[in-house]
Structure 1
Amino acid sequence: MHPVLRSLLLALLFLPFTVTAEEFRACVDRLADQAAGEGISVATIDGALRPIERQVRVVELDRRQPEFVQTFWQYYAARVSDTRLETGRERLEEYRPLLERVHADYGVRPEYLVSLWGLETNFGSHFGSMPVLDSLGTLACDPRRARFFGEQLMAALRLIDAGHMAPEQMRGSWAGAMGHMQFMPATFERHAVDATGDGRSDPWQNLEDALATGANYLRNMGWRDGERWGREVSLPDDFDYGLADIGSRRPLAEWADLGVRRVDGGALPQADMEAAMLLPAGHRGPAFLVYHNFHVIMRWNTSTSYALAVGLLADQLSGQPGLQTSEPADSDPLRRDDVEELQQRLADQGFDPGPVDGILGRQTRAAVRAFQRANDLPADGYPDPRLLEQLRTL
Structure 2
Amino acid sequence: MDPKRSLALGRNRFPDRLKSGQLRGLAETRVGRKLGFRRQFEMSRRGDVARRMNLSRSLAHHGGWQSRLHHGHVHSSFVSIHFGSWYAGPAYYPSYCWTPHWGPWVAWSWWDHCLPVWDPRPRICRPLIYSPSRAWVSWGYPVWTPLPIVSSGTWVNVETVKVDKGMDLQLLAVRFVDAGHPEKQLGSRFRVWIRNNSDKKIRKDFNVMLLASNSREPQTNVPQAGVEVDKIDAGEIQTLDIRLPYEANVMARDSKDRQTPFSFLHVLVDSHRDIDEAFEENNGVVLSRGDVLPVDPATFSTNVTSAAPGTTVNIAGEGFGPEPGEVIVYVNKLELQAEIHGWYDLGIQIKLPMLPLAAEANAEIVVVRGDGAVSNPVPFLIVPQARPVTPPPAPVK
Judging by fraction of residues, say which structure has more helix: 1
Q: State the TM-score, normalized to the length of structure 1.
A: 0.25
Higher strand share: 2
